[in-house]
Amino acid sequence: MARTISRRSATPTASQYTPEPETDDEATERTASARRHPARTPSQNKRDTSTSSATGGWGGYNAEKKKGGKSYGDPLKVSTKAQIIAFLQSDPFAVYREHWIAGEGRQSYTCHGTEKDAKGKEVNICPLCEVDQKKPALRVLFNVVDFSDGDPKVVVLRAGVQLSDLIYDWAQNDKSSPIDRFGDPDGKPDLYWSIKRLEKQTGGRTKYDYFITPVKDRDLDEWDIEPLTAEERDALMANLFTAETQVRIDPVEDLEELADGLAA
């Protein structure tokens, strides 16, 4: 269930994690198939963290981006109608690359990327990179507050490169940082954000352009939204998502098996 806090009782919902109201079709499909095929996830409990390539923070984002690869369309479901969100952290909580393997069952696999070899040279250790025609897409995850259902709740904003670049730019600007500004000691206004995306068809493919701009707390009434109270914010902060729950990393051996099957 959603990590909603009720504005009536102001009591946080103590909920067990289930993937959040997905903000995109791809992700919805993804979680749905994960639920349908629990048996296909033999390695769920033995995550290979030693080669985990999901890292948080802008440092992680820039490091991943520098490695190249392109994003082939953001799966994030933000509509053409602007909506208000608030960031709960100044940085993304996970940055990783995703292989999208079309077919039955599960389709999303985290890329293992590269590792330094004995000579300090970066070598690719991801079996799926060998068989996937496309480069794995960069995925950047943020904990944000969604106000669209009335009561504020924590959801995961899944961003690709285009949207992440916009957020990163705002995060570098004094006037709009930190992006999760709340209760600033110098009295700077709390920050909320309006986000939307426009769709365009180019060469038979759908592309999305994301837009995100800061909104000061005092301007929220134009959106018919009450600013968060400190208590509400604290309750939401207690429900943050983490890379551990949001980014599944399969052992390399499992990916090798999958890659062998795809190559066969």
∠ CA 80-2-154, nearest 5°, is 65
Q: Which is nearer to Zn ion, 138 or 215 (CB)?
A: 138
Q: Which of 126, 144, 236, 249 forms a contact with Zn ion (CB under 5 A)?
A: 126
Distance from the Cα of residue 73 to its chain's centroid: 14
d(CA 126, CA 129): 6
Stretch that binds Zn ion, among 57-65, 114-122, 135-143, 180-188 (CB under 5 A): 135-143
Q: How far is CA 262 from CA 97, 101, 135, in A?
A: 19, 9, 16
By the rule CB under 5 A, 129 interacts with Zn ion: yes
Q: Which is nearer to Zn ion, 30 or 112 (CB)?
A: 112
| Six-digit token string for 69 | 């690869």
Stretch that binds Zn ion, among 20-28, 124-132, 147-155, 192-200 (CB under 5 A): 124-132
Q: How far is the CB of 258 from Zn ion (least distance, A)?
A: 11
Closest listed residue to residue 71, CA positions, set 7, 160, 141, 142? 160
Q: Which of 111, 215, 228, 247 forms a contact with Zn ion (CB under 5 A)?
A: 111
Q: How far is CA 96 from CA 13, 201, 263, in A?
A: 29, 27, 24
Distance from the Cα of residue 56 to its chain's centroid: 11
Q: Which is nearer to Zn ion, 80 or 124 (CB)?
A: 124
Considering only residues 150 to 189 of the shown chain, the ones binding Zn ion according to CB under 5 A are none
By the rule CB under 5 A, 247 interacts with Zn ion: no
By the rule CB under 5 A, 138 interacts with Zn ion: no
Stretch that binds Zn ion, among 58-66, 133-141, 232-240, 245-253 (CB under 5 A): 133-141
CB 73 within 8 A of CB 160: yes
Question: Residue numbers of the site for Zn ion (CB under 5 A)?
Answer: 111, 126, 128-129, 136
